[in-house]
Amino acid sequence: MTDIALTTTHNPSRNWGRIALRWLLFTLLGLFALFYLMPLFVMVTTSLKSLEEIRTGSLVAFPREVTFEAWRTAWSGACTGIQCEGLRPYFWNSVILAIPAVLISTMLGALNGYVIAQWKFKGANLIFSLMLFGCFIPFQVVLLPMARMLGMMGIAGTIPGLIFVHVIYGIGFTTLFFRNYYVSIPQELVKAAKVDGAGFFRIFWSIFLPLSLPIIVVTVIWQFTQIWNDFLFGVSFSQAGTQPVTVALNNIVNSTTGVKEYNVDMAAAIIAALPTLLVYVVAGKYFIRGLTAGSVKG
Amino acid sequence: MAPILDIKNLYKNYGSVEILKDINVAIEPGDFLVLVGPSGCGKSTLLNCIAGLEPITAGTIDIGGRDMTHVSPKDRDIAMVFQSYALYPTMSVAKNITFGMKVRGVDAATQEKKLQEVAQQLQIEPLLQRRPGQLSGGQRQRVAMGRALVRDPKLFLFDEPLSNLDAKLRVEMRSEIKKLHHNLNATMVYVTHDQIEAMTLATKIVVLKGGIVQQIGSPAEIYNTPANLFVADFMGSPAMNLIPARAKANGKGTKIEIERAGAAPLVLTDTHAKDLPEDVILGLRPEDIAEAGFRAGEDVQEADCLIDMVEPAGADTYVVSQLGGKQVTARLHAETNARPGENLSLAFDLSKVSYFAPESGERLN
Amino acid sequence: MTEWLERHIPKMVLAPSFIAILVFVYGFIAWTAWVSLTRSRLLPKYEVEGLIQYERLFASPRFDTAMTNLFIFGTLFIVISMVLGLLIAILLDQKIRTEGVLRTIYLYPMALSMIVTGTAWKWIMNPGLGIEKMVRDWGFENFSFDWVIDPDMAIYAVVIAGVWQASGFVMALFLAGLRSVDGEIIKAAQVDGIPNWRIYSAIIIPSMAPIFLSAFIVLAHLAIKSFDLVIALTGGGPGYATDLPATYMYAMAFSRGDIGQAASSAMVMMAVVFAIIVPYLYSELRTKHD
């Protein structure tokens, strides 16, 4: 930990400078905080206003009269093209899509990371490099063949199809997370367990998995955020009825029929953002810690 | 008696790199074998090969009269203590110790009985419900030993088990391991880079360098008759004095001449040495050079030497003199009158002398 | 048999993922590369015709705009996010009591979908009802802020939203980096009487080179893949003023039915990523082998 806070001095003139500097510091930090908070504030207040008030009032004003009408519409009545059933069905699509995709990709990542970090064999590093590179490709390069592949497998436009896509392209990152975590665990642990008579899965289950809570948290949060917030795969591989919430949100906002209901747009945007925001507020601390640990090391 | 561990012609390669070359070692039940050498000499790899944690490239390993070359670690009837202790971090001490039995399907009552026995033996009963993270280094060490003891194996393997402890604790645990060996009458293979540990614990030492066995023998053999310059230099502290000298046969034996800067050569006569080449390295341990008058014997020869440095070390005082271009250390009694810059008559005990060939480093006598 | 099984279990566990990566990443890249060399339109054709799709691509003014936009957006997005992130990280590093709260505030945009970010900023920058109207209501009648509908300025609107979303993450990276600098070096500098700003500029920041690299890679990667943000904020418009290669590719693949163009533009994106990532991964994996 570095401490470069200004050291105390007893010189009065320098003390004044110090106080002024401190004020400047807080002012700057406060202005930045406003910059980051402003869109959220605007979203929330707009979603609580009536359309009339939006047209006449100011962008940053508090609502004169709070109404949850826009939220109700966004949830169960807004139109995504032809249908007008709100975000609700799509929200649930995202839920039943994200949960299995997160679980499967995390489990595979844990096993892969365990093998690559602790059961090295010839070629394991090459395989890891290939997987790592897979994390960085622009997904546009796989969209076309994947669309055909899903068709061939008979799961085009379905939620299982989307789960499959998210698992496949999540493996790289989940493996990376677990590999980097397990690589710092001394190899002697596996050796001791081997001498004790435990095999591959026993060692994983009894020794490594109980150790893994921090990295499981990081991986689950990462995967959940990625999958919940995904738009590209959702818009490319779903059809009416199986779309995830981000696609539905975009359809609501950009549907050109009728009067533009900005309050509904904002309510819908907040609803779509709520799960990941909640996860971030509850467990974000661990996430940042885990995520930055890796990049600082690199 | 049949050897309990018999390693024959063992080779181990990583790719094209030879890690171990033609290792042949056998020990009897009850032996304490120490594998010692500088880091990177292959000693830990050899231990891993014995444990079955590393496959070997060629050769055989027999344990308890059975060929174990291709048997997996769990079936070799061994237990192992690791340098980092390798305790399972999420399990309590008790679970750490019983994990192996649990895996092997030992019934709960037996597990409990064995656990209590071992805990008592190692005095770790109050720690049984703690996690490894809550233990001190010495306590972890004990738990690691407990995990090995509870197996009651044919062979205990130790991989530098004391190197993570502080100096005082290391000495304590060292004598405890020695006691354990004695009480259990167990067979142990122990890896260390610390030659004092090797000397104090072993009944048999293997000195390794660059994957090649340099010498195998009892601690006394290794100490008194090192097989080559490497062993002579590596074993013993302070190290053996290795002094370039010229040997000339004459009537009574061999005349040994050692060059000195700014003075006439030091001449000693060895009555036993025979057939030495002209250039030799003379090896004499510091304790075999004493102050004149304090060492008697027919092979003791005295000579005046210029003292460069005096280092009192409590029980002894070490003095250093330049001989043959080397700093030569002599171990004197504590009350010596030696002063730097003055001459002192030193007694060289040639009954303990070793000669080495300068080129090959091999022992000559 | 069990012996053999025991020895090969690790490989067998890794195999399904490895095969999946081989097929669905490398196989698919190969497929796209192949199709980019054909005359595919609505349906893929497999007769290789040479670089015709790439010729069409680079002759297309729309793709030209997309590449220019990527360059403008990428540069500004990366530079501003890094500068802002570093600045906030240094400010936050001054023993602020409310650091935890502030960090949360700076970081939360990262948890949002780019669609949400785009939707929010689209509303904020709405010329009729957003910031423009707000400032005019304050009495500045001639104030104008209509970037989202101005073809020349719309890409900068995308930059604002992008920076808002990503700079907090960069801040977190830099903050962790500042904290990981060896404290003794800093104490030594303080004892030597070196002023704080010099300690930052001469000691701490230079020692964070690997973090600059990490941040650059993450941002560059985000910039190239940016698709959702443009879709939600401007829909690629006005016209195709804010098209990026990603939106171009999508339009060709799914609305224009021009698979050849989609494949070739995807390959160009791939090449850009390659040029940035490969040197990074290479150095990364090499240092990790030691």
pLDDT tens string B34-59:
999 998 899 999 999 999 999 999 99
- The pLDDT score that the predictor gives to residue A95 is 95
Write out chain B residues lying below 8 Å of A203, CB-based. Answer: none
Q: Mean of the pLDDT values across residues A47-70?
A: 82
Percent of chain B scoring above 70 in pLDDT: 100
Q: How many Å lie between the alpha carbon of B158 and the closest alpha carbon of chain A?
A: 11
Q: How many Å lie between the alpha carbon of A221 and the closest alpha carbon of chain B?
A: 23
Checking DSSP bridges between strand B300-313 and strand B289-291, what pairing results, if any? Answer: unpaired
The two structure tokens encoding residue B197: 């540990």
CA angle A146, A152, A158 (to 5 degrees): 70
Confidence of residue A285 (pLDDT cuts 50, 70, 90): confident
CB atoms A188 and B86 under 8 Å: yes
Residue indicated by tokens 């919940």: A228
Are B242 and B282 in contact by the 8 Å Cβ rule? The answer is yes
Search chain C and give the residue with CA nearest B73: C3
**Within its chain, how far is the Cα of C240 from the centroid?**
20
Q: Is the pLDDT reported for residue A8 higher than 50?
A: no
CA atoms of B159 and B192, how far apart (whole Å): 7
Write out chain B residues lying below 8 Å of A195, CB-based. Answer: 51, 53, 73-74, 78-80, 100
Residue range B76-87, pLDDT digits in tens = 999 999 998 999
- The pLDDT score that the predictor gives to residue B63 is 93
Q: Is the pLDDT reported for residue A45 higher than 50?
A: yes
CA angle A19, A23, A25 (to 5 degrees): 115
- The pLDDT score that the predictor gives to residue B1 is 64
Search chain C and give the residue with CA nearest B55: C7
Between C2 and B327, the higher pLDDT residue? B327
Q: Mean of the pLDDT values across residues A145-159?
A: 91
Of A195-209, B11-25, B36-50, C270-284, give the lowest mean pLDDT range. C270-284
Cβ–Cβ contact C201 with A under 8 A: no
Q: Is the pLDDT reported for residue A298 higher than 60?
A: no
CB atoms A192 and B147 under 8 Å: yes
Task: Tell me phi and psi for residue A278, to 5 degrees.
Answer: -65, -45
Write out chain B residues lying below 8 Å of A191, CB-based. Answer: 48, 51, 53, 73, 80, 82, 86
Q: Is the pLDDT reported for residue B278 higher than 70?
A: yes
- The pLDDT score that the predictor gives to residue C97 is 83
The amino acid at B214 = Q
Task: Tell me phi and psi for residue A224, to 5 degrees.
Answer: -60, -45
Confidence of residue A1 (pLDDT cuts 50, 70, 90): very low
CA atoms of A235 and A246, how far apart (whole Å): 9
To test the contact with chain A by mutation, choose from B13, B87, B90 the residue with the greatest count of A C-beta atoms within 10 A, namely: B90
CA atoms of A95 and A92, how far apart (whole Å): 5
Search chain B and give the residue with CA nearest A207: B88
CA atoms of B125 and A286, how far apart (whole Å): 36
Q: How many Å lie between the alpha carbon of A295 and the closest alpha carbon of chain C?
A: 6
Q: Give the DSSP letter string of B28-93.
A: -TT-EEEEE-STTSSHHHHHHHHHTSS--SEEEEEETTEE-TT--GGGS-EEEE-TT----TTS-H
Confidence of residue A115 (pLDDT cuts 50, 70, 90): very high
Are B330 and B318 in contact by the 8 Å Cβ rule? The answer is yes
Instruction: Write the DSSP symbol of residue C133.
Output: H
Confidence of residue A292 (pLDDT cuts 50, 70, 90): low
- The pLDDT score that the predictor gives to residue C271 is 92
User: Which residues of chain C are under the pLDDT cut of 50?
Assistant: 289-290
Cβ–Cβ contact C111 with A under 8 A: yes
Side-chain half-sphere CA neighbours of B292 within 13 A: 10
Between A93 and A282, the higher pLDDT residue? A93
- The pLDDT score that the predictor gives to residue C290 is 42
Task: Tell me phi and psi for residue B202, to 5 degrees.
Answer: -75, 150
Write out chain B residues lying below 8 Å of C6, CB-based. Answer: 72
CB atoms A191 and B48 under 8 Å: yes
Q: Mean of the pLDDT values across residues A97-110?
A: 96
The two structure tokens encoding residue A191: 């050796």
Mean confidence (pLDDT) of chain A: 86
Q: Reduce the secondary structure of A38-64 to three states and give it as a string.
A: HHHHHHHHHHCCCHHHHHHCCCCCCCC
Q: Give the DSSP letter string of A141-172.
A: HHHHHHHHHHHHHT-TBSHHHHHHHHHHHHHH
Q: Mean of the pLDDT values across residues A230-254?
A: 90
Write out chain C residues lying below 8 Å of A119, CB-based. Answer: 10
pTM for this model (two decimals):
0.86
Which of B51, B100, B147 is closest, CB to CB, to A197? B100
Q: How many Å lie between the alpha carbon of C3 and the closest alpha carbon of chain B?
A: 8
Between A and C, how many CB-CB pairs are < 8 A? Answer: 294
Under 8 Å CB-to-CB from C166, ≥6 apart: which residues?
Answer: C77, C81, C109, C110, C219, C222
Write out chain A residues lying below 8 Å of C35, CB-based. Answer: 144
Residue range C35-46, pLDDT digits in tens = 998 888 878 888
Percent of chain B scoring above 90 in pLDDT: 64
Cβ–Cβ contact C67 with A under 8 A: no
Sign of CA dihedral B25, B29, B31, B35: positive
Search chain C and give the residue with CA nearest A260: C123
CB atoms B72 and A210 under 8 Å: no
Where do the DSSP E strands lie in chain B? 5-14, 17-27, 32-36, 58-63, 66-67, 78-81, 155-159, 188-192, 204-209, 212-217, 241-250, 253-258, 266-270, 279-284, 289-291, 300-313, 316-323, 326-333, 343-349, 354-356
Which CA distances in Å does C285 have to A28, A130, A185, C251, C288? 39, 11, 19, 36, 5
- The pLDDT score that the predictor gives to residue C53 is 86
To test the contact with chain A by mutation, choose from B48, B54, B72, B82 the residue with the greatest count of A C-beta atoms within 10 A, namely: B82
CA atoms of C217 and C283, how far apart (whole Å): 13
Under 8 Å CB-to-CB from A91, ≥6 apart: which residues?
Answer: A245, A248, A271, A272
Cβ–Cβ contact B15 with C under 8 A: no
Confidence of residue A297 (pLDDT cuts 50, 70, 90): very low
Between A and B, how many CB-CB pairs are < 8 A? Answer: 61
- C99-107 vs A12-47: helix crossing angle, rounded to 10: 40
Are B35 and B42 in contact by the 8 Å Cβ rule? The answer is no
CB atoms C17 and A108 under 8 Å: yes
Q: Give the DSSP letter string of A49-107.
A: S-HHHHHHS-TTSPPSS---HHHHHHHHT--BTTB---SHHHHHHHHHHHHHHHHHHHH
Residue range B99-138, pLDDT digits in tens = 999 999 999 999 999 999 999 988 999 999 999 999 998 8
- A69-76 vs A12-47: helix crossing angle, rounded to 10: 60
CB atoms C6 and B70 under 8 Å: no
Q: Is A279 exposed, middle or buried (0-12, 13-18, 19+ CB in 10 A)?
A: middle
Which of B82, B90, B104 is closest, CB to CB, to A188? B82
Between C42 and B158, the higher pLDDT residue? B158
CA atoms of C91 and C96, how far apart (whole Å): 8
Task: Give which of B85, B94, B55 is closest to A188, Cα–Cα.
Answer: B85
Query: Is residue B100 helix, strand or coil?
Result: helix
Write out chain C residues lying below 8 Å of B70, CB-based. Answer: 3
To test the contact with chain C by mutation, choose from A105, A140, A203 the residue with the greatest count of C C-beta atoms within 10 A, namely: A140
Residue range B203-242, pLDDT digits in tens = 999 999 999 999 999 999 999 999 999 999 999 888 999 9
Residue range A160-187, pLDDT digits in tens = 999 999 999 999 989 988 998 898 888 9
Residue indicated by tokens 């009350």: B335
